[in-house]
Amino acid sequence: MFPFIYYLTVTGVSILLVLIILPSVIHIARQNNLFDDHSVDRKEHGYGIPRLGGVAFYISIVLASLLIAKNGTGLPFYELYAASIILFAIGIKDDLSGVHCHTKLAVQALVSYILTVPGNIRITNLHGIFNVYQLGYLPSVIISMLVIIFIINSFNLIDGIDGLAGTLGVIASCAFGFYFMVAGQTQLAALAFSTGGSLIAFLAYNYSPARIFMGDAGSLFIGMLCAVFAIKFISINEVSTVYNLPAAPAFAAAVLIVPAFDTCSVVITRIYNKKSPFKPDRNHIHHRMLLLGLTHLQTTFILGIVTLLFIGLALVFKQEDNALLLLLFVAILLLMNGLLNHLLSAKSKQVFQVGNLIG
Protein backbone atom coordinates (compact mmCIF):
# COMPACT_ATOMS: atom_id res chain seq x y z
CA MET A 1 0.00 0.00 0.00
CA PHE A 2 2.83 2.42 0.84
CA PRO A 3 4.43 2.36 -2.66
CA PHE A 4 1.05 3.10 -4.25
CA ILE A 5 0.49 6.10 -1.96
CA TYR A 6 4.05 7.27 -2.61
CA TYR A 7 3.64 7.18 -6.40
CA LEU A 8 0.20 8.78 -6.14
CA THR A 9 1.67 11.56 -4.02
CA VAL A 10 4.54 12.18 -6.44
CA THR A 11 2.07 12.34 -9.34
CA GLY A 12 -0.31 14.61 -7.45
CA VAL A 13 2.44 17.00 -6.36
CA SER A 14 3.71 17.22 -9.94
CA ILE A 15 0.23 18.00 -11.24
CA LEU A 16 -0.26 20.67 -8.56
CA LEU A 17 3.10 22.32 -9.24
CA VAL A 18 2.41 22.67 -12.96
CA LEU A 19 -1.10 24.03 -12.33
CA ILE A 20 0.41 26.63 -9.98
CA ILE A 21 3.35 27.61 -12.22
CA LEU A 22 1.76 27.53 -15.70
CA PRO A 23 -0.64 30.51 -15.35
CA SER A 24 2.31 32.68 -14.27
CA VAL A 25 4.36 31.49 -17.26
CA ILE A 26 1.49 32.36 -19.62
CA HIS A 27 1.11 35.78 -17.99
CA ILE A 28 4.84 36.58 -18.24
CA ALA A 29 4.98 35.36 -21.86
CA ARG A 30 2.02 37.57 -22.85
CA GLN A 31 3.42 40.57 -20.99
CA ASN A 32 6.70 40.26 -22.91
CA ASN A 33 5.25 39.15 -26.29
CA LEU A 34 7.02 35.77 -26.13
CA PHE A 35 4.77 34.15 -28.70
CA ASP A 36 5.01 31.34 -31.21
CA ASP A 37 6.07 32.62 -34.64
CA HIS A 38 2.71 32.17 -36.37
CA SER A 39 3.98 33.89 -39.51
CA VAL A 40 5.82 30.72 -40.52
CA ASP A 41 3.89 28.88 -43.24
CA ARG A 42 3.97 25.46 -41.58
CA LYS A 43 2.36 26.77 -38.36
CA GLU A 44 -1.23 25.70 -37.68
CA HIS A 45 -2.39 28.75 -35.74
CA GLY A 46 -3.19 32.23 -36.95
CA TYR A 47 -2.58 33.89 -33.58
CA GLY A 48 0.31 34.20 -31.16
CA ILE A 49 0.61 31.53 -28.47
CA PRO A 50 3.28 31.41 -25.73
CA ARG A 51 5.91 28.70 -26.32
CA LEU A 52 7.26 28.37 -22.78
CA GLY A 53 5.04 25.61 -21.39
CA GLY A 54 8.10 23.41 -20.94
CA VAL A 55 9.30 25.75 -18.20
CA ALA A 56 6.43 24.70 -15.92
CA PHE A 57 6.84 20.93 -16.19
CA TYR A 58 10.65 21.19 -16.22
CA ILE A 59 10.53 22.89 -12.81
CA SER A 60 7.93 20.42 -11.56
CA ILE A 61 9.87 17.32 -12.63
CA VAL A 62 13.21 18.64 -11.33
CA LEU A 63 11.68 19.52 -7.94
CA ALA A 64 10.08 16.08 -7.72
CA SER A 65 13.36 14.38 -8.67
CA LEU A 66 15.17 16.30 -5.91
CA LEU A 67 12.84 14.63 -3.43
CA ILE A 68 13.33 11.23 -5.11
CA ALA A 69 17.13 11.60 -5.02
CA LYS A 70 17.14 11.42 -1.23
CA ASN A 71 15.85 7.87 -1.27
CA GLY A 72 18.79 6.09 -2.90
CA THR A 73 21.34 6.08 -5.67
CA GLY A 74 19.61 4.05 -8.38
CA LEU A 75 19.79 6.91 -10.88
CA PRO A 76 22.77 9.11 -11.83
CA PHE A 77 20.99 12.31 -10.79
CA TYR A 78 24.01 14.60 -11.15
CA GLU A 79 24.43 13.54 -14.78
CA LEU A 80 20.68 13.80 -15.37
CA TYR A 81 20.63 17.32 -13.96
CA ALA A 82 23.67 18.38 -16.00
CA ALA A 83 22.21 16.95 -19.21
CA SER A 84 18.74 18.39 -18.60
CA ILE A 85 20.06 21.88 -17.79
CA ILE A 86 22.12 21.96 -21.00
CA LEU A 87 19.22 20.69 -23.11
CA PHE A 88 16.68 22.96 -21.42
CA ALA A 89 18.93 26.00 -21.93
CA ILE A 90 19.35 25.38 -25.67
CA GLY A 91 15.59 24.77 -25.91
CA ILE A 92 14.79 28.10 -24.24
CA LYS A 93 17.25 29.84 -26.55
CA ASP A 94 15.53 28.24 -29.55
CA ASP A 95 12.07 29.23 -28.27
CA LEU A 96 13.07 32.84 -27.71
CA SER A 97 15.38 33.63 -30.62
CA GLY A 98 16.10 30.47 -32.61
CA VAL A 99 19.07 28.06 -32.77
CA HIS A 100 20.72 26.57 -35.85
CA CYS A 101 19.89 22.89 -36.33
CA HIS A 102 23.59 21.91 -36.29
CA THR A 103 24.03 23.64 -32.91
CA LYS A 104 21.05 21.73 -31.51
CA LEU A 105 22.46 18.45 -32.83
CA ALA A 106 25.87 19.16 -31.28
CA VAL A 107 24.24 19.91 -27.91
CA GLN A 108 22.20 16.71 -28.15
CA ALA A 109 25.41 14.76 -28.83
CA LEU A 110 26.97 16.32 -25.71
CA VAL A 111 23.90 15.46 -23.64
CA SER A 112 23.87 11.87 -24.90
CA TYR A 113 27.57 11.55 -24.04
CA ILE A 114 26.95 12.80 -20.48
CA LEU A 115 24.14 10.30 -20.01
CA THR A 116 25.93 7.29 -21.50
CA VAL A 117 29.53 7.69 -20.31
CA PRO A 118 29.57 9.49 -16.93
CA GLY A 119 25.92 8.50 -16.29
CA ASN A 120 26.36 4.91 -17.52
CA ILE A 121 22.83 4.85 -18.97
CA ARG A 122 23.52 2.41 -21.78
CA ILE A 123 22.02 -0.38 -23.87
CA THR A 124 24.25 -3.35 -23.13
CA ASN A 125 22.22 -6.09 -24.83
CA LEU A 126 20.26 -6.10 -28.13
CA HIS A 127 18.28 -9.20 -27.06
CA GLY A 128 18.88 -11.02 -30.34
CA ILE A 129 18.12 -8.17 -32.75
CA PHE A 130 20.40 -8.65 -35.80
CA ASN A 131 21.44 -11.83 -33.95
CA VAL A 132 23.35 -9.67 -31.46
CA TYR A 133 23.13 -10.07 -27.70
CA GLN A 134 25.84 -8.67 -25.40
CA LEU A 135 27.51 -5.48 -26.56
CA GLY A 136 31.06 -4.38 -25.89
CA TYR A 137 31.58 -1.06 -24.11
CA LEU A 138 32.32 1.08 -27.19
CA PRO A 139 29.44 -0.28 -29.35
CA SER A 140 27.18 0.10 -26.31
CA VAL A 141 28.11 3.77 -25.91
CA ILE A 142 27.75 4.55 -29.62
CA ILE A 143 24.38 2.79 -30.01
CA SER A 144 23.05 4.35 -26.79
CA MET A 145 24.11 7.85 -27.84
CA LEU A 146 22.43 7.42 -31.22
CA VAL A 147 19.24 6.13 -29.59
CA ILE A 148 19.13 9.09 -27.18
CA ILE A 149 19.67 11.63 -29.97
CA PHE A 150 17.02 9.90 -32.09
CA ILE A 151 14.36 9.88 -29.35
CA ILE A 152 15.07 13.49 -28.34
CA ASN A 153 14.59 14.58 -31.94
CA SER A 154 11.53 12.39 -32.35
CA PHE A 155 9.66 14.23 -29.60
CA ASN A 156 10.92 17.56 -30.89
CA LEU A 157 9.56 16.78 -34.37
CA ILE A 158 6.23 15.28 -33.27
CA ASP A 159 5.38 18.45 -31.32
CA GLY A 160 3.50 19.98 -34.23
CA ILE A 161 -0.15 20.16 -33.16
CA ASP A 162 -2.07 20.83 -29.97
CA GLY A 163 -1.70 18.14 -27.33
CA LEU A 164 0.12 15.49 -29.41
CA ALA A 165 3.62 15.45 -27.88
CA GLY A 166 2.18 15.82 -24.39
CA THR A 167 -0.27 12.95 -24.87
CA LEU A 168 2.41 10.64 -26.24
CA GLY A 169 4.67 11.70 -23.36
CA VAL A 170 1.98 10.79 -20.80
CA ILE A 171 1.46 7.36 -22.39
CA ALA A 172 5.21 6.68 -22.53
CA SER A 173 6.04 7.82 -19.01
CA CYS A 174 3.09 5.99 -17.43
CA ALA A 175 3.78 2.78 -19.40
CA PHE A 176 7.43 2.73 -18.36
CA GLY A 177 6.51 3.89 -14.85
CA PHE A 178 4.16 0.95 -14.33
CA TYR A 179 6.84 -1.59 -15.22
CA PHE A 180 9.48 0.22 -13.18
CA MET A 181 7.06 -0.08 -10.26
CA VAL A 182 6.52 -3.80 -10.91
CA ALA A 183 10.30 -4.34 -11.11
CA GLY A 184 10.82 -2.53 -7.80
CA GLN A 185 12.70 0.40 -9.38
CA THR A 186 11.32 3.05 -7.01
CA GLN A 187 13.28 6.06 -8.25
CA LEU A 188 12.69 5.39 -11.92
CA ALA A 189 8.99 4.73 -11.33
CA ALA A 190 8.60 7.93 -9.30
CA LEU A 191 10.43 9.99 -11.93
CA ALA A 192 8.25 8.48 -14.68
CA PHE A 193 5.01 9.14 -12.78
CA SER A 194 6.20 12.66 -11.97
CA THR A 195 6.75 13.21 -15.69
CA GLY A 196 3.31 11.80 -16.49
CA GLY A 197 1.61 13.94 -13.84
CA SER A 198 3.36 17.12 -14.99
CA LEU A 199 2.33 16.49 -18.59
CA ILE A 200 -1.28 15.74 -17.61
CA ALA A 201 -1.50 19.15 -15.95
CA PHE A 202 0.19 20.80 -18.94
CA LEU A 203 -2.31 19.20 -21.35
CA ALA A 204 -5.15 21.05 -19.60
CA TYR A 205 -3.67 24.17 -21.24
CA ASN A 206 -2.34 22.53 -24.41
CA TYR A 207 -5.32 20.66 -25.85
CA SER A 208 -7.03 22.47 -28.71
CA PRO A 209 -7.53 25.39 -28.62
CA ALA A 210 -4.08 25.59 -27.04
CA ARG A 211 -3.29 28.42 -24.63
CA ILE A 212 0.41 27.52 -24.49
CA PHE A 213 2.90 25.25 -26.28
CA MET A 214 5.64 23.23 -24.61
CA GLY A 215 8.20 24.67 -27.03
CA ASP A 216 11.60 23.16 -27.78
CA ALA A 217 12.60 23.47 -24.12
CA GLY A 218 9.76 21.12 -23.24
CA SER A 219 9.87 18.69 -26.17
CA LEU A 220 13.66 18.21 -25.96
CA PHE A 221 13.46 17.61 -22.21
CA ILE A 222 10.60 15.12 -22.50
CA GLY A 223 12.41 13.36 -25.32
CA MET A 224 15.51 13.02 -23.15
CA LEU A 225 13.51 11.58 -20.24
CA CYS A 226 11.73 9.08 -22.51
CA ALA A 227 15.10 8.02 -23.93
CA VAL A 228 16.39 7.45 -20.39
CA PHE A 229 13.26 5.48 -19.48
CA ALA A 230 13.50 3.31 -22.61
CA ILE A 231 17.20 2.49 -22.09
CA LYS A 232 16.77 1.83 -18.37
CA PHE A 233 13.79 -0.42 -19.11
CA ILE A 234 15.85 -2.47 -21.57
CA SER A 235 18.72 -2.72 -19.06
CA ILE A 236 16.44 -3.71 -16.17
CA ASN A 237 14.69 -6.31 -18.30
CA GLU A 238 18.05 -7.96 -18.92
CA VAL A 239 18.80 -8.55 -15.22
CA SER A 240 15.37 -8.46 -13.56
CA THR A 241 14.07 -11.53 -11.76
CA VAL A 242 10.48 -10.29 -12.04
CA TYR A 243 8.44 -12.84 -13.95
CA ASN A 244 6.62 -11.98 -17.17
CA LEU A 245 8.07 -8.56 -18.03
CA PRO A 246 7.42 -7.76 -21.72
CA ALA A 247 10.14 -8.18 -24.33
CA ALA A 248 12.33 -5.14 -23.66
CA PRO A 249 13.37 -3.65 -27.03
CA ALA A 250 10.01 -4.45 -28.65
CA PHE A 251 8.01 -2.96 -25.76
CA ALA A 252 10.18 0.17 -25.69
CA ALA A 253 9.70 0.53 -29.46
CA ALA A 254 5.93 0.12 -29.09
CA VAL A 255 5.75 2.83 -26.43
CA LEU A 256 7.63 5.29 -28.66
CA ILE A 257 6.29 4.01 -31.97
CA VAL A 258 4.53 7.14 -33.26
CA PRO A 259 7.33 9.72 -32.81
CA ALA A 260 9.93 7.16 -33.92
CA PHE A 261 8.10 6.23 -37.12
CA ASP A 262 7.25 9.85 -37.90
CA THR A 263 10.91 10.86 -37.60
CA CYS A 264 12.09 8.02 -39.83
CA SER A 265 9.36 8.80 -42.37
CA VAL A 266 10.06 12.53 -42.69
CA VAL A 267 13.85 12.11 -42.78
CA ILE A 268 13.66 9.43 -45.49
CA THR A 269 11.17 11.54 -47.48
CA ARG A 270 13.38 14.64 -47.29
CA ILE A 271 16.48 12.73 -48.36
CA TYR A 272 14.54 11.05 -51.20
CA ASN A 273 13.40 14.49 -52.39
CA LYS A 274 17.02 15.70 -52.19
CA LYS A 275 16.27 18.11 -49.35
CA SER A 276 18.11 18.62 -46.10
CA PRO A 277 16.85 16.21 -43.39
CA PHE A 278 16.93 19.20 -41.01
CA LYS A 279 14.68 21.44 -43.13
CA PRO A 280 11.15 21.66 -41.62
CA ASP A 281 8.17 20.77 -43.78
CA ARG A 282 4.57 19.60 -43.56
CA ASN A 283 5.12 15.91 -44.31
CA HIS A 284 4.72 14.78 -40.71
CA ILE A 285 2.05 12.20 -40.04
CA HIS A 286 -0.05 14.69 -38.03
CA HIS A 287 0.10 17.26 -40.84
CA ARG A 288 -1.08 14.67 -43.36
CA MET A 289 -3.93 13.64 -41.05
CA LEU A 290 -5.01 17.27 -40.75
CA LEU A 291 -5.14 17.44 -44.55
CA LEU A 292 -7.81 14.72 -44.42
CA GLY A 293 -10.04 17.09 -42.47
CA LEU A 294 -9.29 15.79 -39.00
CA THR A 295 -9.04 18.28 -36.14
CA HIS A 296 -6.07 18.60 -33.80
CA LEU A 297 -7.97 16.75 -31.08
CA GLN A 298 -9.07 13.92 -33.40
CA THR A 299 -5.54 13.50 -34.74
CA THR A 300 -4.05 13.43 -31.24
CA PHE A 301 -6.69 10.95 -30.08
CA ILE A 302 -6.10 8.60 -33.04
CA LEU A 303 -2.30 8.61 -32.67
CA GLY A 304 -2.66 8.02 -28.93
CA ILE A 305 -4.90 5.01 -29.64
CA VAL A 306 -2.39 3.74 -32.20
CA THR A 307 0.33 3.87 -29.53
CA LEU A 308 -1.84 1.96 -27.06
CA LEU A 309 -2.62 -0.68 -29.70
CA PHE A 310 1.08 -1.25 -30.37
CA ILE A 311 1.72 -1.51 -26.62
CA GLY A 312 -1.09 -4.08 -26.49
CA LEU A 313 0.55 -6.04 -29.33
CA ALA A 314 3.88 -6.01 -27.49
CA LEU A 315 2.19 -7.38 -24.38
CA VAL A 316 0.15 -10.03 -26.19
CA PHE A 317 3.23 -11.32 -28.06
CA LYS A 318 5.73 -10.70 -25.26
CA GLN A 319 7.07 -14.26 -25.49
CA GLU A 320 7.94 -13.85 -29.16
CA ASP A 321 11.36 -12.98 -30.55
CA ASN A 322 12.16 -9.26 -30.38
CA ALA A 323 13.32 -9.12 -33.99
CA LEU A 324 10.09 -10.74 -35.24
CA LEU A 325 7.98 -8.34 -33.18
CA LEU A 326 9.85 -5.34 -34.54
CA LEU A 327 9.36 -6.63 -38.10
CA LEU A 328 5.63 -7.01 -37.38
CA PHE A 329 5.53 -3.41 -36.12
CA VAL A 330 7.27 -2.13 -39.24
CA ALA A 331 4.89 -4.06 -41.52
CA ILE A 332 1.82 -2.65 -39.73
CA LEU A 333 3.25 0.88 -39.81
CA LEU A 334 3.94 0.67 -43.54
CA LEU A 335 0.37 -0.53 -44.15
CA MET A 336 -1.04 2.30 -42.04
CA ASN A 337 1.16 4.84 -43.82
CA GLY A 338 0.07 3.45 -47.18
CA LEU A 339 -3.59 3.74 -46.15
CA LEU A 340 -3.06 7.35 -45.08
CA ASN A 341 -1.40 8.20 -48.40
CA HIS A 342 -4.23 6.44 -50.27
CA LEU A 343 -6.84 8.50 -48.42
CA LEU A 344 -4.93 11.70 -49.21
CA SER A 345 -4.78 10.71 -52.87
CA ALA A 346 -8.51 9.98 -52.89
CA LYS A 347 -9.22 13.31 -51.22
CA SER A 348 -7.32 15.14 -53.94
CA LYS A 349 -9.64 13.56 -56.51
CA GLN A 350 -12.91 13.74 -54.59
CA VAL A 351 -13.74 16.23 -51.84
CA PHE A 352 -14.48 14.60 -48.49
CA GLN A 353 -13.42 14.96 -44.86
CA VAL A 354 -12.51 11.97 -42.73
CA GLY A 355 -13.19 14.13 -39.67
CA ASN A 356 -16.91 14.01 -40.48
CA LEU A 357 -16.85 10.22 -40.33
CA ILE A 358 -15.74 10.10 -36.68
CA GLY A 359 -17.57 13.12 -35.36
Binding annotation for Mg(2+): 156, 216
Q: Are 295 and 158 in contact (CB under 8 A)?
A: no
Under 8 Å between Cβ of 108 and 146: no
Q: How many residues does the chain have?
A: 359
Residues 6+ apart with CB under 8 A from 61: 14, 191, 194, 195, 198, 221, 225
Q: Positive or negative CA dihedral for 321, 323, 327, 332?
A: positive
Which residue from 173, 322, 337, 328 is spatially nearest to 262, judged by alpha carbons?
A: 337
